[in-house]
Amino acid sequence: EEEIYSCIDDSPKCELRGVDKMEVTDVIDTAIEQLNKKYMPVLHLKKQQLINGYRRFDPTRGMEYTLDLQLEVVNQKGHSRSITKRVHLVRPLSLIEIIPMPYVTEATRVHIIIPLTSEDRSYVNHFLEVFASNAFETSENAVLTFLFIYDPEEA
């Protein structure tokens, strides 16, 4: 919570201050608040320390955070213990909205080509039964082709 490892002046480590420090504090507080909202009234969580924290800017989503937090967990009976919990948070670039998507059907046809020799004849019936139950009966858009490979004297 005091140091950052990507500094403006290209030094390997510098003090966390200003807007960056406020951002880290806000993200940790939000994580604790969300965890308490999830586990209340059974458990109450308090921050002991930030073990590790990572942030990454995703231009499509916003700032992504991964935090490893050392937490004190207190149950309803008052018993407490220390745990480590990893949380993932995203600070979106803009307000999140649900965009309706039109119904899309998959029209892609899959072509399955099975090469067969005369030695494989005994397996074909079982394969066809299994394939029919998995592909044809579930309305998969698939085309099955057997490619018979044989010597001229076997014809």
pTM higher than 0.75 for the full model? no
Residue 6 has pLDDT above 80, yes or no: no
pLDDT in tens, 14-66: 888 888 889 889 999 999 999 999 988 888 999 999 999 888 998 888 999 99
User: How many CA atoms does the CB half-sphere of 111 hold within 13 Å?
Assistant: 5
65 and 131 co-located in one domain: no
Where residue 45 sits, what CATH number does that domain have?
3.10.450.10
How many domains does one find in the chain? 2
Q: How many CB atoms lie within 10 A of CB 68?
A: 14
57 and 84 co-located in one domain: yes
Name the CA radius of gyration of the chain, rounded.
29
**Cis check: omega of the bond before 41, within 30 degrees of 0:** yes
Which residues form the domain of 40?
3-92
Q: Which residue, 99, 17, 3, is CA-closest to 53?
A: 3
Structure tokens at 94: 């803009």
Q: Is the dihedral of CA 89, 91, 96, 98 positive or negative?
A: negative
Q: Which among 63, 92, 121 is the end of a domain? A: 92
